[in-house]
Structure 1
Amino acid sequence: MTPQTTFATSAGADVNEDTVTAGADFALVLDGATAEPDTDSGCRHGVRWFATQLAGRLAARLAVDACAAHPLTDVLHDAIDAVGRSHSDSCDLRNLCSPSSTVVLVRHRQDHTDCLVLGDSPLVIARRDGAVFPLMDDRLSRFSGPWSQLRYTRNAPGGFWIAGNNPEAARHALVATVPTADLAALALLTDGATRLVERYGWSWRDLMTLLRRDGPAELINQTRAAERQTPAGRFVGKRHDDATAVLCHFGDAPSPRAV
């Protein structure tokens, strides 16, 4: 069963460092990690370049039938490696602050759907029996030190894992395979599109209900409305973040409006 896939994305500031790509049998979302301030990343290209390059390499592999039997961790490993090789002559990939990105992707194959999450961009699963729950990597949220120390826990044992200068990070992704017949919908989200849950008291069921009823663009609209109404300084971090939402809708349940 091939789902209907719709998506929307919105920049939090001048440049949108999220990337979204979808095909007949796959969908993926990447959230480029904001560069640490006043830090040399060792790369002349930047975060947006890295995220779009990785998305392109992933899409090229996921669109090839021969890769359908390969584990998603292998597909991601090879894509990260290919991006690294493409700029290793011009950039210092040993730099701990080298550009990086979260990854959340799904691949639909015959009777099953494969899922992968690396970094803090979640995948929300809605099953036909009514259950709604996230596949979420929370390792970054366990870091409590200053931002200047974050680089030392990136792609390191006991820290958190993210797509960047080390292809082996792919081996640490969270993965799942779900019978497609059990699925009502999947939502691939960057953290800018999860704020209604993380900041404003919504449940994952609330978020998925809105997505399925009104579509990804309305989720982002309601997120922006909540952010604008929030007093300055209430939350740590950016007032608006890049926000991307992808909805994969299965079967004969009511479809959201097209975006």
Structure 2
Amino acid sequence: MEIRSSCQPAPDRQPPAVNEDLVLTGPDFAVVFDGATPFAGIDSGCRHTVAWLVGRLARYVAPPLLTASTAPLADVLAEAIAAVGAEHADSCDLTNRDSPSSTVAMVRVRPDHLEHLVLADSPIVYRAPDQTVTVHSDDRLELLPERTVESVRRLRNAPDGFWVASTDPAAAYQAVTGTTDRAEVAAIGVLSDGASRYAEHYGRSWDDLMDVLTTEGPAALIRRVRRYDEAADTIRWKRYDDATAVVLYDSGR
């Protein structure tokens, strides 16, 4: 596989600009984490930052992916969440519903098939050799009846709500997962919602997004998003967001 990526903090973050996104890639995999920026003034019960959580999740996800583990991606993520929890269970309140959390998008390339996992709003996009585009997404956060502090707290990692990587390993088994014949995929996009808003909120097609990714590259996609962010008449949640875009090409094609 040929893999290119760009991971950039929101341009309006005050210095030092801490990026709560993280991208992890290897010879046959890519993972994007998008840490959830906490509401102002909320006590998370944790002395660690969102960026710390994201970095620790990446630390524990990496070894099984790098060593060609055959474990399902949900198992890989569940074990990572459990391992991170064990690191700070003695110093932090892991029962706090506002504990730091992250979305996760993972894709792993096998000799004859691809595996994907999407937890919360970081989609994975496949483009077939015939240019057909398929989007693997988890829209449960978008379907919340409202997005207030209280509703997000109540519905996070709850049966009728949405699921994220935080303190409960069981959340990994609520992710959107699946496999696809490798012959059916020529290019893959893995995105945080700061990059996917190009299609999801700014009216461009997923085909257009994949064209930009595969011809101009991930950094170019994020530059286009920033131009839309700057020009937007209305702000949805926040004007700018950390943005990550990864593109994988099947070099055998």
Q: Which of 30, 35, 58 is 2:33 aligned to?
A: 30
Corresponding residue of 2:103:
102
Structure 2 stretches lacking a partner, 5+ long: none
**Which residue identity does 1:114 align to in structure 2?**
E
1:62 Cα offset (Å): 1.0
Distance 1:30 1:171 in 2: 17
Match of 2:158 among 145, 156, 159: 156
Task: Write the mapping of 1:201-212 to structure 2, written as runs, cut at 5 A.
Answer: 201-212=203-214
How is 1:1-259 mapped onto 2 (pairs within 5 angstroms)? 3-12=1-10, 13=13, 14-65=17-68, 67=69, 69-145=70-146, 146-231=148-233, 234-251=234-251
TM-score scaled to structure 2, two decimals? 0.94
Deviation sequence 1:71-126 (CA, Å, 0-9, x none): 11111111110010011111110000011100001111221111110011000111
Mapped to 2, the partners of 1:199 and 1:157 lie a distance apart of: 27
- SS of the equivalent of 1:141 reads coil
How far off its partner does 1:229 sit? 2.1
SS in structure 1 of the partner of residue 127 of structure 2:
strand
Q: Look up the SS of the partner of 1:162 in the other structure.
A: coil
What does the per-residue CA deviation read over 1:222-247, in whole Å, with 9 as the maximum and x for residues that have no partner?
1111212223xx12222110000000
Give the alignment's Cα RMSD to 1 decimal: 1.2
State the 4+ residue runs in structure 1 displaced beyond 4 angstroms. Answer: none
8 Å Cα contact 1:36-1:97 kept in structure 2 = no
Residue by residue over 1:183-239, the C-alpha shift from the partner in whole angstroms, topping out at 9 and shown as x without a partner, is 1111110000012212221010010011100000000011111212223xx122221
SS of the equivalent of 1:104 reads: strand
SS of corresponding position for 2:33? strand
Using the TM superposition, give the Cα deviation of residue 8 of structure 1 relative to its aligned residue in structure 2, in angstroms. Answer: 0.3
Q: Counterpart of 2:3 in structure 1: which amino acid?
A: T
Instruction: Supply the AA of the counterpart residue of 1:130.
Output: Q
Counterpart residue identity of residue 175, structure 2? A
Report the residue type matching 1:225 in the other structure.
R
Identity of paired residues, percent? 45
Counterpart amino acid of residue 247 in structure 1: V
* In structure 2, distance between residues paired with 1:4 and 1:162: 29
Q: Tell me if the contact between 1:123 and 1:186 (Cα under 8 Å) persists in the aligned partners.
A: yes
Aligned residue for 1:257?
none
Distance 2:189 2:59 in 1: 20
Are 1:191 and 1:243, in contact at CA under 8 Å, matched by a contact in 2? yes
Q: Distance in 1 between matches of 2:197 and 2:120?
A: 16
The SS at the match of 2:186 is strand
Deviation at 1:182, TM superposition (A): 1.5
Aligned residues: 247
Deviations along 1:2-22, whole A, 9 cap, x unmatched?
x10000011112221001010
Give the letter for the 1:222 counterpart. Answer: R
Q: Distance in 2 between matches of 1:182 and 1:195?
A: 25
Q: Give unpaired runs (5+ residues) of structure 1.
A: 254-259
What secondary structure is seen at the aligned counterpart in 2 of 1:188?
strand
- Helix, strand or coil at the partner of 2:116: strand
Select between 215-224 and 141-150 the one with higher mean Cα deviation: 141-150
Task: Tell me how far apart the structure 2 counterparts of residues 98 and 229 of structure 1 sit (CA, whole Å).
Answer: 33
